[in-house]
Structure 1
């Protein structure tokens, strides 16, 4: 009798688990807005609705054009991944509570939680950013755009002379600076000793994460 009761309890538990599992999976997937930038570029090649999923550290991003990105955790450092091609990728601070940034081998994906601001096309990006009080993450810093391609060692003093203060750098070639006039965070990406991109990242708090 005890064996039958035990089997019955197990069957009920499995039935409940099978019913509740899809709910938990669904809760991990949210609608978002995604902008995709080629490496070193400040104009999005894709901008629109997307879905963002995160389960047990793994991240999946599905764009409305059908393209998807699957990132698996790498090592013991949070925010480090391998994409579906086996290439290294990582999550970067910069959007605060507005979203997340993922840096891949050849692209950067900006994921925004606010879906109400979907734009008709990526060409509107700079116009809308200029109209806002704070430039959107990924917008080129016009006052420093002439330094893209310059040697980092030579251009660093020019950046300081124009009112920008260095905050920190990371191992991926990104340096974080504060713009003196506005206190906005600016990210400068250096590759092979030269500045590859100089873009706004967010507010001052985004430079300190």
Structure 2
């Protein structure tokens, strides 16, 4: 191999490495504000990271929820379940419109320190569905109890009423109280509720 060929090979390798480094995912510490569909008030504000590589986007929330977005046209994406997501820009926020919620991403910002006591359910979460349990609404109660525990929820107590019952669980990661309503043997609703509902004496 002559000097010219060797030099060309080195340039090609360096160019490839340079392009490769440019296409590496850039991860930015960010703040994510979560708005349920149709609501003008955020149900949750959490720290998150925002990564983008060759059009593919990953948003990782500190509460364990993540979004994997695949490009599907100009400002359009498909999430990890193949559902359409629209990207918008509004001031400093990059907004991702999902089917059931909107995620406002503020890059290089951090969520404010929580003033809520550890384990105390924030009032703005009352009656909202824990994201990790959405798919269990409508499930058979007997079959789903074990799944609740596997996903990090600890049973506390049950209250019965005419036509059904409500079981209360602690969300282990946050300490928040979750009410699981059962009617006709199926989970009719799963929502956050006041922390005192999870008191075994109630």
Q: TM-score range by the shorter chain?
A: 0.3 to 0.5
TM-score of the aligned structures, taking structure 1 as reference length: 0.46
Larger radius of gyration between Structure 1 and Structure 2: 2
TM-score of the aligned structures, taking structure 2 as reference length: 0.47
More helix by share: 1
More strand by share: 2
